[in-house]
Structure formats: C-alpha cells, structure tokens
Chain A
Amino acid sequence: MTARIDKCFASCRAENRAALVIYSMAGDPDPETSLSILKALPKAGADIIEFGMPFTDPMADGPAIQAAGLRALKAGQTTVKTLDLVRRFRADDADTPVILMGYFNPIYVYGVGRFLADAKSAGIDGLIVVDLPPEEDDELCLPTLAAGLAFIRLATPTTDDRRLPAVLANTAGFVYYVSITGITGAATPDFRQVSDAVARIKRHTPLPVVVGFGVKTGADAAAIAEGADGVAVGTALVNAVKASLDTEGRATSKTVESVAKLVEGLAAGVRSVTKAKAA
C-alpha cells in the first residue's frame, strides 16, 4: 500500500543517499503553471513530492506558504482541482510518490470517505495533515490506512520518548521530523540536534525519517542528509515561485525554470553526501 514510497526510499538507499522531498503549493500561481512545476520537479531531482492543499488559516505555516495558499485560492484552487492536477501528473509519471499536505477542514468538508476514494483514484500515495495529532486518529488517520494510503505523521522536538510510540503507532510510509519548534520557513535548525533527534526516532521505528522545516539551501540539505533518510524543502520553493511572478502576480516564462534550478541545487546538495551503507 505504500509501494511507491517504499520503492523510492529503497532506490535512494541503493544509491547511498538521502531522498529529496519537495513541497509545492497546488494551484500557485495558477493551475496550469502548478502542473508544469509538478512535472518539472522529478526531472530536477525531487524524489518525493509534497503537494500543498491551500487553506485560508494554515496555523503551522509561515508567511511564505500562507501567501502561496492565498495566491492559489485567489486563482480559484479547490480540493477537486488539486486532485485533478495530481491525476494529470500521474498520467505521465507512474513512479514519483505524491503526498498531499495540508489541514483537516477542507478534507472534512469534502467528506473523509469521498476524499480518500478520490485521492486514491487520482494516484496519491499518502497524506500529511498538520492539525491531526494521534489523539484524533479516528478522524482521518485510521480511515486513510484502511483505504490503503500512507498517513505520514509529524514528530517534533517536543515529542519526547514517552510520547513517540503513540506518534509512530499509526504512521506509514515515512516519519516527518520537524527540525525546529516553530513554523515553516523560520529559523535554520541546529544540525547536530537534528541528527541526534533522527537517531532517537530511528530507535523506535524501522520507517525512513525525513527532516523538514528551515532547510533553505543545498548546503543545508547536505548537512541534514548526513543523518536523515530524506530532506524536505518547501518555503524556499514557494519563495522561488513568488520571485518569478510579474507585478500582477502572474506566472512568467521564468517561473518553472527558476523552480527547477532551485531543486537542481538542492538535489546536488543531497547527492553530495554519500551515506554509509545501511547495516
């Protein structure tokens, strides 16, 4: 059920490197450009795509991702359209895992059962829903696992050893370690502490551990890649989209190209680190 995700981590492991996980906001700045970005990501070196579901009130995100979501909503993005973009991406790409990342309300309003059926048929591999801790597993996590999709949980610096088993219990695909206490796009993490935290999580689970929040450059990615199975980057990409827009907020000929260039740099960073062969 997590076949595409498992296969992706296995092939990265075979290359003795970490996976590059790239976040892009669905429908930013418009649906067609968003699809072009989606298609460009694997070619530029992204191994896994986190596709952001826009929400008006993203309480765990920084200003860059919130603004990207509002741009997408302004351009008319909806949950139906987000699923449709993935369906169109999947028509040309059978291998790259696509994880939807967002907040619960749009899914709840869409209807959990209908959402899971539509997400699965669109070719989505898993979900990351920021405002659903293990205490609310009945809402979406358990139905997601039952539907055969991965539910990827966030572990954070405040998740201590006592709590970690509960956080990992119903996690599938991989674990997403939030490297800082804070919002997306904020402080750069202390790489030493991150590496200790990843080691701590790995003592509790055989799942791959991906690290995100605050990773901005190829050098950051390389530093994280030392200890983690994957590196996630979001705000930097969203900023690249924003910087490429014209004064009216529309995509330009540079939009897809500048995103691809950023991802190539990050991919080079990740690939610059050869990891010790797993035992």
Chain B
Amino acid sequence: MTAQPQPNTFRAGPDERGHFGTFGGRFVAETLMPLILELEQAYGQAKSDPAFQAEMASYLTHYVGRPSPLYFAERLTEHLREVSTASGLSGGAKIYFKRDELNHTGAHKVNNVLGQILVARRMGKRRIIAETGAGQHGVATATLCARFGLDCVVYMGAVDVERQKPNVFRMKMLGAEVVPVQSGTRTLKDAMNEALRDWVTNVADTFYCIGTVAGPHPYPMMVRDFQCVIGRETREQMMQAEGRLPDSLVAAIGGGSNAIGLFHPFLDERQIEIYGVEAAGHGLTHLHAASIAGGRPGVLHGNRTYLLMNDDGQIQDAHSISAGLDYPGIGPEHSWLHETGRATYLSATDDEALAAFQLCCKLEGIIPALEPAHALAKVIELAPKKAKDHLMVMNLCGRGDKDIFTVAEHLGAAM
C-alpha cells in the first residue's frame, strides 16, 4: 500500500479536477466531457442556492420521511455483551442503528436520487437514465421520476433482472422502462456501461442519475453531498441521546454511498473509528466483491479507484449474495480514505451476512437488507471487544423485503 500524505482535513476533497489524492478524476469519452462540465457547473450553482437547499429539505421531510431515527439496538447490545463476558472481556459496545431503511422506497438511495432529480429539473432535462444492480437505485429513480413527471429508463443486467423480479415490476409500475442489458457479464458493471452508451447517444435531453459515489467527477462528490444527510442527522441525534459523538461508525460498501454519507461528517474527528465493510462473497480467495481487500488501483467508469481485475487490466466479475454490493469497484474517496489510513476496510462473507441477517430479525424485529447485514456481521465481531461505554453506530441502510427470496433459497426454505 502506498502511504498517502495526511491532509489537514479529510473533508476538503475533491480538488477542482475531481481528485481525492490520486483517485477519482474524469476518465470519459470526449462526447461526455462537455456534459459533465455542465453538470459540475449546475450542481455548484444549486449547492450554493438557498432555494435549492430549502426545496431539498422540504422533500426530504415530507416525501422521503427524514430524519430517519437513530435507534438504540438494546437486545443486540445485550446479546453481544453476553458474548463479550463469555470471552472474558466483560465489555460490549452500545450499538445504535441509523434507520435509513425507513425512508420512502426502503433504502438510503432516495437521498441521492432526490438531489440529482432536482438538479436535472434545474438543468431542464426531461429524460432520466440510471443503472441499477439490486434494483434499489432503479426503484428510487423511477419513484422520483414519477413524482416529477419525467421520462425514466433504467438499465439493469439481464442476470439481475432475473434475480430481482419484484424490483423490476416495481419500476414498471412506477412508469419506468427497464432495459435488460445483454452485453458483457450482464450485471451491474454492464448496466453502467450501457447507461453511459445511452448518455453518449442522447446528449441533449438526458440526465444520467448515477446511484453511487462512483463515475467521473462531479458524481462522487455530488452523490456524497446528498448522502451526507445521514451523518449530519447522526451527529445531532447522538448528541441528543448521549450528549457526545459516537466512538465508531460501521457501514457496508458496494460503491460506498451509504458509507460515505455516514462517515464524511465525522472524518475530522480523528478519534472516531471508521469501518467500511466490503462483500467477501465466498471468501477473499474465491469469488468476491471486495475491491480494496482483493483489488488494486485502475481506471473504470470515469474514475481511478480500487478495482477487481486480472494482471492484464481486464475487469473481473464480482460476486456477492447481495446484488447491491456486486460491483468490481468502489468509490474513489474510499480508496483515498483507505490509503491515508483514515478508514479501515473489512469484509464479510455471504455466510457471515446471512447469519447477521437472521440475528437482526430475531433480536431486533427488523428484517435488514443483505447489504447492511454485511456491516452487522462486523459489528458482531467488533462490539464485544469494545468497552461498555463505547458508542457504535451502524448504518442500517436498507430493508430486507427485496431479499427474502434470496435468503430463503440459501437457507433451503420453501416460500
């Protein structure tokens, strides 16, 4: 690992060329370059416009249902304290869930989509395109397009269309056109390729609504800004609940938008431990989706970041039980936080996530999505080793209704 210099602040990035350290950038075809410059300008204006911020805040409250609660997971805490005692430590962190699964559409994705759709409206774009893996970002995009009367086309790998049928139907009900992508490996990365091809073809009227903190600048910055509402609320809510800031943060990472949304407002409180959890699939020596643990820096989809690839620079397939983590890259800001050492990146296997999923159902009466179940798997490992006054926040970024078929299949249960 190359040690990158420690900055005075971790919250100032990216630079004007979209770089977080050596990561990020604008690696796109010339056809798209004028479009992303136009977007950068439009977003910059919106960001500093109080009317835009007020509009965002209003929809976040009345349409999305924010703020989402910061919930003390009492029974999980008690359970992990017993685990701690049994191992002779007599500790066990106090665990809070940031309940972003209670948002409209059931995940954090809507925070970002709302922001981008409001920017698209300011730019006069009438046609919205998006890529989706599990379908959560597609559903959020279809939802906001319905709400604002915009045309919506969602690209989804043909393999994912098959394994996420309920979400495909949701998108169609909401009026979106879902295009199954047959090229390449027919999963999320190919859906993103196809969305970029659409954008390159329909430059005049189309806005590309990217679902995570990846893609060319300004997307990783803009999507992060829209997701930071998670971390800002958490600060306030934790101050109210405990009179102080948390000691550690844990979130699952595919592209990494829910994680950066939680982490970013806390980056400069360096005493706060930050853990991102990648999907280790069948294990890091087998098929997985852990770009930092098992990949290396490369260039794909408009930015430089850690990627899964072979020795010749060809992109490899990711695998995770969670379709939302099934991407061979990670947002460039995470690559930078990894190399600077500010955040620690762990990974959880399919089996660990499944066990955590079941524990959450039984102890807390919450069916989590498989994505945050990966984060929970590491909370289960970390919390017993911490003292009882350690405050740990996990982002429960999505609900698990969409995953019950997958889980049933893995548990060998008939539906």
Stretch at the interface among B197-205, B335-343, B360-368: B197-205
* Known A-B contacts A57-B189, A105-B298; A156 and B30 likewise in contact (beta carbons under 8 Å): yes
Question: Measured between alpha carbons, how far is A135 from B393 in the docked complex, in Å?
Answer: 39
When distances are taken between beta carbons in the complex, the residues of chain B under 8 Å from A58 are 193
The number of chain A residues with a CB under 8 A from chain B is: 44
B1-57: which have CB < 8 Å to A?
17, 25-35
When distances are taken between beta carbons in the complex, the residues of chain A under 8 Å from B309 are 105, 109
B171 at the A interface (CB under 8 A): no
Least distance between A201 CB and chain B CB atoms (Å): 12
From B193, which residue of chain A is reached at the shortest CB distance? A59
* Known A-B contacts A158-B34, A160-B34, A178-B30; A104 and B197 likewise in contact (beta carbons under 8 Å): no
Least distance between A181 CB and chain B CB atoms (Å): 5
Q: Mark B295-311, 1 if CB is under 8 A from A, else 0.
A: 00011111010010101
A79 at the B interface (CB under 8 A): yes
* Known A-B contacts A104-B27, A106-B312, A130-B29; A181 and B34 likewise in contact (beta carbons under 8 Å): no
* Known A-B contacts A56-B184, A105-B299, A182-B200; A154 and B29 likewise in contact (beta carbons under 8 Å): yes
Question: Measured between alpha carbons, how far is A54 from B315 in the docked complex, in Å?
Answer: 11
Is B313 a contact partner of A108 (Cβ separation < 8 A)?
yes
A131 at the B interface (CB under 8 A): yes
Is A59 a contact partner of B312 (Cβ separation < 8 A)?
no
When distances are taken between beta carbons in the complex, the residues of chain B under 8 Å from A237 are none
A133 at the B interface (CB under 8 A): yes
From A213, which residue of chain B is reached at the shortest CB distance? B31
Question: Measured between alpha carbons, how far is A129 from B262 in the docked complex, in Å?
Answer: 37
B197-215: which have CB < 8 Å to A?
197, 200-203
Is B312 a contact partner of A79 (Cβ separation < 8 A)?
yes
* Known A-B contacts A109-B312, A135-B17; A60 and B35 likewise in contact (beta carbons under 8 Å): no
Is A59 a contact partner of B299 (Cβ separation < 8 A)?
no
Least distance between B46 CB and chain A CB atoms (Å): 22
B183 at the A interface (CB under 8 A): yes
B271 at the A interface (CB under 8 A): no
When distances are taken between beta carbons in the complex, the residues of chain B under 8 Å from A56 are 184, 314-315
When distances are taken between beta carbons in the complex, the residues of chain B under 8 Å from A181 are 31, 200-203
Least distance between A23 CB and chain B CB atoms (Å): 16
Least distance between B192 CB and chain A CB atoms (Å): 8
A136 at the B interface (CB under 8 A): yes
Q: Choose one: A57, A107, A136, A186; the contact of B315 (CB below 8 Å).
A: A57
Least distance between A105 CB and chain B CB atoms (Å): 5
Q: Choose one: A55, A59, A73, A158; the contact of B203 (CB below 8 Å).
A: A158
Of A57, A70, A153, most buried by chain B (CB within 10 Å of CB) is: A57
Is B28 a contact partner of A131 (Cβ separation < 8 A)?
yes
When distances are taken between beta carbons in the complex, the residues of chain A under 8 Å from B184 are 56-57, 66, 70
Q: Choose one: B31, B196, B300; the contact of A105 (CB below 8 Å).
A: B300
When distances are taken between beta carbons in the complex, the residues of chain A under 8 Å from B202 are 181
From A67, which residue of chain B is reached at the shortest CB distance? B183
Of B190, B201, B299, B302, most buried by chain A (CB within 10 Å of CB) is: B299
Can you list 7 A-B contacts with CB-CB less than 8 angstroms, sorted by A residue number?
A56-B315, A58-B193, A62-B197, A66-B184, A70-B184, A105-B307, A155-B30
Top-10 shortest CB links A-B: A109-B313, A106-B313, A182-B201, A156-B31, A60-B29, A133-B33, A131-B27, A56-B315, A105-B313, A59-B196
